[in-house]
Structure formats: C-alpha cells, structure tokens
C-alpha cells in the first residue's frame, strides 16, 4: 500500500499493522507528512475547535536519584546546581498561575526522596483546598501502587509518566540497569487502574531509535489508550553520555504527532517545550499538526536554568507572566485561543 493509503487506513480503522507502521516511518516523504498534518489538524478542530487547553507547569525539584542517560538532571551530573521548592513556594506558584487563568497545575520533578507520600499528599490536598476548581497533574516518576493510590485519594487528577520507548532493548540503551521498561509499564497500568487520567509518551530521535521502535510505540499507544501523550524530540544535554548525539528531527516529531492524533482523535496532546526549543515555531507547528495542549512554565525564574533536561531549553530567563504571554501570542498568531477550561479527557 502507498503511504497515503496507509494514512487513510489509519484514519478509518484507527489501527495499522506493525509492518505498515515501519513502512510509514521509513519511507514517508514531505507530501505524505503534509497529508497527515492536514488530516490531524482537521480531526483536532472537530474535537476541540480552535481552543487549546492550558496547563501551568511547575518544576518542583531537580534532585533525582535516577541516572537516565539522556537527562540533564541525572544523578551523576555534578554540574547541576540542585534545588527543591518548598510547599509555600509551590502554593505561591499556583496562586500566580490561578490569577493568570490556569485551572490545571502540573507538578513535575526528578525522583526526589524528600517528596514522601505524606509530604506530597499534604501539597496536593492543600492546592485542592485553595483551588477546588483546578485539576492537579503529577509528573514525578515511578512510585509504588500504594503511593499512587494515596496521591489519587489526596486529590491528584492526572499523572504523566512517559514510557520513553516501548521496546525493551531500546529502553535498556537509554537507562541504567536498575530501571526497566517492565516497571515503567507496571506503573502506567497501575495509574490507569487507580483512576488517574494517565499520560505516557516518547522522545523522537533518541539515540539508537529505529523505525521499528517507533512502530512498537504506536502499537503500544493503540493498545494502552492513554488519556494524554507527551511527545517531543530528543535533545542532547551537556554533561550526559548523550551530549554529542544529534537532536531528533522536527519534521519526524510533527509527523508522529499527526499520526497519533489521527489514531486517537480525543487524546490530550501537548505541544511540548522540547519542540519549542528545537525550533522557534515548533509549538505552533505542533498545534497545526494536531496538538491541543500548551504547558507554559510558571516556575520561579531563579530555578528555571537549573531544570535543564536538555541544552538551550526555552523560557529559562523568563517569569511566569512572560512565558504565558509568549504562548498566548503564539496561539493567536495561528488563529487559536487559549481556554481556561480544566480540559479533562473526554471519552468519545
């Protein structure tokens, strides 16, 4: 089948066979990608109109016990100056975010042992008490099922945990020995069962990634049916084993976004910061390729440069107001509008 027919088949059946995915990733040309983009944009418009959900991202700690080979804040990077926000600082951030219109706060960070279940449940329930009309998303890595249950009970609504790659051999090349795809997947399964709106996702163009790996990612997404999917290009981070590797491609990342939108019409799909870092109009082009969520950084300015997952991350010199203004303007430029709605996942 020609690539265009494969894309039409995906639209109709919401599914492709593994060899078909591999063909698409290996042989798609600009025209095929353009066709996928048009279709994805149309589907996103049918689902969400020209409204883009806004999430305020708070990077609560860059302390991490893990040593993921790609990540700039990995444990063994001793050039990072480490910080951890206090509960009061986190509340203050939410306050500022609330006033700017955010109704979702995303608390992201490294796997920092300080954030025990007790401390986190206090933070989550505290935010919920002050801002009962807001959703809380956590993105704090792998925890036990009991821990996830406590956080859910405390009021957390959503959890982001990218699977990074759905192929075991590839996963092992990106992570130290003590981390496994099996455990990552177990966490994702637990999160979904507990009732979180659950997000997974992958980097595009990470070292050693093949078309077959991407095909496995698409098959996993089809089967797992996540509520949210974070997709961004791999970007090298200095002082990591992958510092000399080349960045993922903008076109490839946008193509994957389009295909995901075609396969899962109602999924929540952010235009990620990594895409905005790779290219000035990366996030705008992501929206035009089917993304429907923006996550401007509302972290305190002084912490931002230290939450460097990869080189040259955008927004590190800005405050929350500026980051929000940039995102809102970039949306308006392409005819989209930010919405203050909580933007929960809705079954079709």
Residues at the interface with ligand SAH (CB under 6 A): 70-71, 108, 110-111, 139-141, 161-162, 164, 203, 232, 234-235, 237, 274, 309-310
Sheet holding 270-271, edge to edge: 270-271, 293-294, 51-54, 337-339
Which tokens hold the place of 26?
Answer: 């290996």
Report how far residue 183's alpha carbon sits from residue 230's, in angstroms, rounded to the nearest whole number. 19
Separation of alpha carbons 347 and 197, rounded Å: 11
Residue 250 CB, nearest distance to ligand SAH (Å)? 13
Q: Which is nearer to ligand SAH, 57 or 287 (CB)?
A: 57
CB of 61 to ligand SAH, least distance (A): 9
Closer by beta carbon to ligand SAH, 7 or else 110: 110
Q: Which two tokens stand for residue 221?
A: 């997404």
Sheet holding 158-160, edge to edge: 56-61, 104-109, 135-139, 158-160, 197-204, 228-233
Nearer to ligand SAH, 230 or 343 (CB): 230
Rounded to 5°, the CA angle 151-67-202 comes to 65
Least CB distance to ligand SAH at residue 202 (A): 7
CA distance 233 to 250: 7
Query: Closer to ligand SAH at the Cβ: 6 or 160?
Result: 160
Using CA atoms, how far apart are residues 197 and 193, in angstroms rounded to an integer? 10
- Least Å distance between CB 240 and ligand SAH? 7
Q: Which is nearer to ligand SAH, 237 or 291 (CB)?
A: 237
Smallest gap from residue 63 Cβ to ligand SAH (A): 10
* Shortest Cβ 102–ligand SAH spacing (Å): 19
Contacts of 34 (CB under 8 A, 6+ apart): none
In whole angstroms, how close is the CB of 2 to ligand SAH at the nearest point? Answer: 32
**Strand, coil or helix: 11:** helix
142 touches 115 (CB < 8 A):
no
Nearer to ligand SAH, 56 or 141 (CB): 141
Alpha-carbon distances, residue 262 vs 71, 76, 166 (angstroms): 30, 40, 20
Nearest CB to ligand SAH, comparing residues 20 and 245: 245
Q: Tell which residue, 302, 301, 344, has the closest CA to residue 133.
A: 344
């Amino acid at each position: 089948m020609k690539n265009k027919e494969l894309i039409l088949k995906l639209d109709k059946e919401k599914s492709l066979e593994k060899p078909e995915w591999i063909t698409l990733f290996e042989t798609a040309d600009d025209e095929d990608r353009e066709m996928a983009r048009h279709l994805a944009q149309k589907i996103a418009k049918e689902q969400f109109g020209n409204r883009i959900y806004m999430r305020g991202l708070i990077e609560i700690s860059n302390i991490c016990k893990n040593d993921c080979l790609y990540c700039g804040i990995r444990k063994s990077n001793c050039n990072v100056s480490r910080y951890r926000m206090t509960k009061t600082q986190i509340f203050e951030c939410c306050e500022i975010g609330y006033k700017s219109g955010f109704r979702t706060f995303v608390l992201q960070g490294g796997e920092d042992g300080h954030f025990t279940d007790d401390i986190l449940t206090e933070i989550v329930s505290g935010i919920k008490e002050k801002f009962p009309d807001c959703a809380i998303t956590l993105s704090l890595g792998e925890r036990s099922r009991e821990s996830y249950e406590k956080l859910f009970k405390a009021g957390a609504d959503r959890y982001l945990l990218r699977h990074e790659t759905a192929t075991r051999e590839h996963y092992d090349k990106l992570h130290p020995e003590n981390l496994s795809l099996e455990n990552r997947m177990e966490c994702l399964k637990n999160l979904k069962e507990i009732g979180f709106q659950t997000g997974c996702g992958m980097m595009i163009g990470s070292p050693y990634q093949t078309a077959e790996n991407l095909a496995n990612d698409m098959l996993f997404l089809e089967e797992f049916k996540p509520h949210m999917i974070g997709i961004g290009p791999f970007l090298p981070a200095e002082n990591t084993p992958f510092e000399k590797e080349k960045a993922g491609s903008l076109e490839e990342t946008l193509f994957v976004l389009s295909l995901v939108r075609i396969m899962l019409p109602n999924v929540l799909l952010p235009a990620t910061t990594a895409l905005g870092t790779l290219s000035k109009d990366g996030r705008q082009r992501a929206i035009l390729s089917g993304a429907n969520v923006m996550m401007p950084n509302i972290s305190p300015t002084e912490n931002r440069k230290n939450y460097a997952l990869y080189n040259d991350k955008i927004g590190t010199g800005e405050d929350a107001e500026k980051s929000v203004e940039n995102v809102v303007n970039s949306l308006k430029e392409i005819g989209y509008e930010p919405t203050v709605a909580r933007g929960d996942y809705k079954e079709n």
